[in-house]
Structure 1
Amino acid sequence: MTSYFKGFPQSDRNEKIDMINVDELEERAKKVMPEGAYYYIASGSENEWTWRANTSAFNHYQIVPRALTGMDNPSTETEFMGMKLKTPIMISPIACHGIAHKDAEVATQEGAAAAGALFSSSTYANKSVEDIAAAAPDAPRFFQLYLSKDWDFNKMVFEAINKAGYKGIFLTVDALVSGYREANLRTKFTYPVPLDFFTRYLGGKGEGQSVAQMYASSAQNISPADVERIKKESGLPVFIKGVMCAEDAYKALGAGADGIYVTNHGGREVDGAPATIDVLPEIAKAVNHRVPIIFDSGVRRGSHVFKALAMGADLVGIGRPYLYGLALGGAKGVESVIDQLDDELKIDMQLTGCKTIDDVKHAKIDSIHYGRDDLPSNTDPSRIKPYPKTADNQIKQEAETDATSGASHH
C-alpha cells in the first residue's frame, strides 16, 4: 500500500472511498502521509483566518428551498468553453501531487476523467503533461501557469501543453511570492519529488526546494502586457487566476482575459483576505456574463457548489479534498470525492426545483444575518459523544424474526 521515493513514502492505493462527507478525509489522510507533506496541504498562511473563513463564509448565504416544482432527476451536466462535462465541479491546480500518491497527477487526471470533471495541472506538477494527457486522452484539461522570468522556459511550457492537448491557461497572479506558511516552516517542508518542467529545463531543480524558493523563480511583476503576450505565444485562452475584487476583474478584461478565476489561493497567501464567496457577487456583477467565471477556495459541500453557481460561477473548483482522496484511494479516491460532492449538489437541486446547472445559476439565494454557527453535525466524529449502552437499547445479534415479514419480534 506504500512505495518510496528516496525514502519518502507515497501511497499506491487505487480504491473507492467510503465516506459520509469529504471533511472526514482530512483526518484519515494523516495515516498515509508524512507530517510535512500533510501540512503542506492542510494549512494556510499566518494565523489561517482566511483559510477557515473560506468555508465558514458560505454560511453567510442561504439556499431558498422551492416547493411544487414538478421536477425530479436533476442533471449536473454542463458545458464550459465548448467542453461537455458531467459535473460543474473542477479539479483546481495544486503543486506536487506526488506527496499524496506515487502516480501523482496521472492518477488525479484519471479520477477526474472518470467523474467527468475538468482537470487542471500546475506548472509545479511532478508528472509530465504528456503522461497526464496519455492517462485520459479525450478528457478536458487546463494548465495553471506560474509565469517564469525566463521566457524560454515559458515557451517550452506553451509548446508542451499545446502538443498534449490542453485547452487553456490559468495564469496565477495572486502568488507572486509565497504567503507566510508557518506549518511549512515548522515541518521544514521541501518538495520531496522532482517537478517535471524543472527537471526537463533545469536538470532537476524543484526537488528539495522550499515553497518560497520555488516561487522566487516565478515572475513577480505581471502586467496586462504579459497577458497579451501569453495569449499570442501560446495560442490558448487565458483566465486570470487570483481575482478578488471588481477593479481587478475590469483590469483583466481590459487585458484581453478569456475568463476570470475567483480565488484567494485557498487561504495560503494573504491571511486576512476576504473569503472568496463574499467577493464573488461583486465580481460577477462586474463581469456581467462577458466571460466565464471559475470559483474556488473553501468548498467542502455540494451546497457550497450550489451557492457559488447561483452567485455567478460557471465552474467550482476543489483542492485539498481531492488530494486527501488521492492519498487514500488514488484515481478512484479522487473520483469518489467528486462523486460525493456531485451527489450532494443533486440533492440541493432536487429540493430547489433545479433541473439543470443553468437553473442553479438562477436559483434564489438569501443573505440573512445569523449568529456564528459553522460547527459540523452532531454525529461528526469530532463532536459525537459515546452512545450509552443499556440492557434496553441493544439489538440482539440473533433476534428471532417473523418468517413471513422478516420483522423482529422485538
Structure 2
Amino acid sequence: MTIVNGYEQSDREEKLNIINLTELEAKAKAIIPQGGFGYIRGGSEDEWTLRENSNAFEHAQIVPRSLTDMENPSTETNVFGLNLKTPIMMAPTAAQGLAHAQGEKDTAKGVAAVGGLMAQSTYSSTSIADTAAAGNGAPQFFQLYMSKDWDFNEHLLDEAKKAGVKGIILTVDATIDGYREEDMRNNFQFPIPMANLSEYSDGDGKGKGIAEIYASAAQKISGKDVERIASYTDLPVIVKGIESPDDAMLAIGSGAQGIYVSNHGGRQLNGGPASFDVLPAVAKAVNHRVPIIFDSGVRRGSHVFKALASGADLVAMGRPVIYGLALGGALGVQSVFETLNDELKIDMQLAGTQTIEDVKRAQLLHIHY
C-alpha cells in the first residue's frame, strides 16, 4: 500500500485470474478504502438506473448461427481513423488514484497492451501529459468537463493537443452532480489532488466533495460550445451523455464528429432509461453519419456484442476496469480487457460473425415484457 494524505492506495501489479467481471467488485471493495470505493461504485438516489443499465441487456437476445463456415473471429476494428485491436475502450473515469497509486498511468499501460483506446478525464489523478506518456504512443482521447472559466478550458485543450490526443470527448450530462447518497453517507471528500486542476491553480480538488468540484462546471452548454471546441482544437469532438435522438441531431448539426450514448453509469439522472434501451433510437437518427460510442452497465462480452449490433462502433467500460486496476495495476487492467475480449470472441463464433462489421449487422431478438 501507498499512503497519501492518510488514504491507502493499492500498489499491486499482477495479472488476474478472472472468471467474470462482476465478481471483481467485491474483491476490490476489500482493498479500496470505504469512501473511495463508494465514490467509484455508487450511483444516484436509489440507483435504479444504475441497476437497469445492466438489466437492459436482457431486453435483446443474440441469434445463434451455426452453418457459417467460419472460425477464429477477429475483434480488430477501425474507428475515428484509428486501427484498434478491440472495440472495447476505456471510458473516461475520474480520480483513478482512489483505486491505485499509479492511477491513470497504469490504466493507460493496460489499455495500450491490448491495443485499445484510452479516454482520460479532466478530473484525473495524473496529468494529461503523464497519462499520455504512459500509453507510449497508443491512441488516447481527452474528456472535457467544460468549466465556466474558458481560460481553464483552453488550458486543458492546449495540454491535450500537446500530449497528442486523437479526439476530445465533451461531457454534457454533468452540468450538476447527481444526488449521490453513497458519498453523503461516507462524507466523502477527494483525498488525492486532481493533477489537471492543481497544474492550473491552487484549487487542486483535494479535500473537496463532488458537489464542490462540479460547482465550477458550466451549467449552460449548447451547440455553440461544440463548435468552439472543434474550432479551437481542430480535433474531432465527441459529445458524451446523449440519450435522445434530438440531442444527437443537435450535436451533429453543431459539428460533433462522434456521439457518445451514456447515462454516466447511472450516476446522474436516476429514473432515466438504461443507455442500452435508447441506443437503437439514437443510432437510427445518427444513421452512420458519425461513429457512436456506448457505455453504461457493460459487464459481459455479450453486452459488447449486443451494443455493437444495436448501433455502437465502440463500447466503453468504467467500473470493472477500475476494480481491475485496484487488484492488479496495469496488468489487472489488461486482464479485464482480455477477459471481456475472450468472451466477445466466443459470442462472435457462436453467432457466426467473423468480424466486428459482421457483429454490427447481426440479428438481435428484442423482447418486450
Give the TM-score category using the shorter length.
over 0.9
Quick check: 2:195–2:204 contact (8 Å CA) kept in 1?
A: no
Find the residue that maps to 1:206 and give its secondary structure: coil
Q: Quote the residue 2:12 is aligned against.
A: 13
Q: Quote the residue 1:69 is aligned against.
A: 68
Q: Please list the CA deviations of residues 263-312 of structure 1 after superposition, one character each: whole Å capped at 9, or x if unmatched.
A: 00000000000001100000000000000000000000000000000000
Find the residue that maps to 2:256 and give its secondary structure: coil
Residues 209-220 of structure 1: matches in 2 within 5 Å? 209-220=208-219
Quick check: 1:195–1:204 contact (8 Å CA) kept in 2?
A: no
- 1:204: Cα distance to partner? 4.2
**Which amino acid is 1:244 matched to?**
E
Q: Quote the residue 2:191 is aligned against.
A: 192
Percent sequence identity is 58
Task: Tell whether 2:152 aligns with 1:123.
Answer: no
Distance across 1 between alignment mates of 2:217 and 2:184: 20
- 1:17: Cα distance to partner? 0.7
Unpaired segments ≥5 residues, structure 1: 371-410
Q: Quote the residue 2:251 is aligned against.
A: 252
Task: Tell whether 2:113 aligns with 1:102.
Answer: no
Find the residue that maps to 1:175 and give its secondary structure: coil
- 1:368: Cα distance to partner? 2.3
Q: Quote the residue 1:231 is aligned against.
A: 230
Quick check: 2:28–2:327 contact (8 Å CA) kept in 1?
A: yes
Q: Quote the residue 1:387 is aligned against.
A: none
Task: Tell whether 2:245 aligns with 1:262.
Answer: no
**Which amino acid is 2:185 matched to?**
R
Distance across 1 between alignment mates of 2:53 and 2:158: 35
Find the residue that maps to 1:65 and give its secondary structure: coil
Larger radius of gyration: 1
Q: Quote the residue 1:364 is aligned against.
A: 363
Quick check: 1:63–1:307 contact (8 Å CA) kept in 2?
A: yes
Superposition CA RMSD, Å = 0.8
**Which amino acid is 2:344 matched to?**
L
Quick check: 1:111–1:334 contact (8 Å CA) kept in 2?
A: yes
TM-score, scaled relative to structure 1: 0.89
- 1:191: Cα distance to partner? 1.1
Large movers: runs of 4+ above 4 Å = none
- 1:165: Cα distance to partner? 0.6
**Which amino acid is 2:184 matched to?**
L
Higher helix share: 2
Q: Quote the residue 1:40 is aligned against.
A: 39
Distance across 1 between alignment mates of 2:157 and 2:28: 34
Residues 127-138 of structure 1: matches in 2 within 5 Å? 127-138=126-137
- 1:369: Cα distance to partner? 3.6
Q: Quote the residue 1:277 is aligned against.
A: 276
**Which amino acid is 2:238 matched to?**
F
Task: Tell whether 2:166 aligns with 1:162.
Answer: no
Q: Quote the residue 2:138 is aligned against.
A: 139
Q: Please list the CA deviations of residues 146-188 of structure 1 after superposition, one character each: whole Å capped at 9, or x if unmatched.
A: 0111111111111111110101111000010000000000001
Q: Quote the residue 1:396 is aligned against.
A: none
Range with greater deviation from structure 2 (284-293 or 232-241)? 232-241
Quick check: 1:74–1:346 contact (8 Å CA) kept in 2?
A: yes
Q: How many residues align?
A: 369
Q: Quote the residue 2:322 is aligned against.
A: 323
Q: Quote the residue 1:339 is aligned against.
A: 338
Quick check: 1:78–1:357 contact (8 Å CA) kept in 2?
A: yes
Find the residue that maps to 1:208 and give its secondary structure: coil
- 1:246: Cα distance to partner? 0.7
Q: Please list the CA deviations of residues 305-364 of structure 1 after superposition, one character each: whole Å capped at 9, or x if unmatched.
A: 000000000000001000000000000000100111100000000001111000000001
Find the residue that maps to 1:102 and give its secondary structure: coil
Distance across 2 between alignment mates of 1:208 and 1:290: 43
TM-score, scaled relative to structure 2: 0.99
Which structure has more relative contact order (CA 8 Å, sep 6+)? It is 2
